Amino acid sequence: MDSTPISTRRAPDPIISACAERRRELQITKVNMADELDVAVGTLNSWESGARRPNLDQIRHYAEKLAELSDSRVELVVSWVPVAAVAPAPLRSLAA
């Protein structure tokens, strides 16, 4: 019997994936972004890799900070992901 532990790693949150992609486009390092978010680099890395999921306030803060750093609007950051794909059921009806 194989004793290799089963991975509990999940796919990254779609909004965090979009934020990470935007961070890379803006050429912002994980170290600099973590500093802007006031989180440890390991925390940011775990969000972007899917090892941990940030809460909604943390997701919002990440998107807002990227918007501030890129001098663009938050909507540009989060519009890459359809609301129905990530929102809880009660919020999906608002997106329609």
The 10s digit of each residue's pLDDT in 21-64 is 999 988 899 999 999 999 999 999 999 999 999 999 999 999 98
Residue 19 lies in a domain: yes
Q: Is residue 65 part of a domain?
A: yes
Domain count, the chain: 1
C-alpha distance from residue 63 to each of 14, 17, 22, 30, 75 (Å): 12, 11, 9, 14, 9
Residue-wise pLDDT for 65-96, tens only, equals: 988 888 654 455 455 455 555 555 554 455 55
Residue 57 lies in a domain: yes
Q: Is residue 26 part of a domain?
A: yes
What CATH code is carried by the domain that includes residue 34?
1.10.260.40
Task: Give the structural domain span for 67.
Answer: 14-82
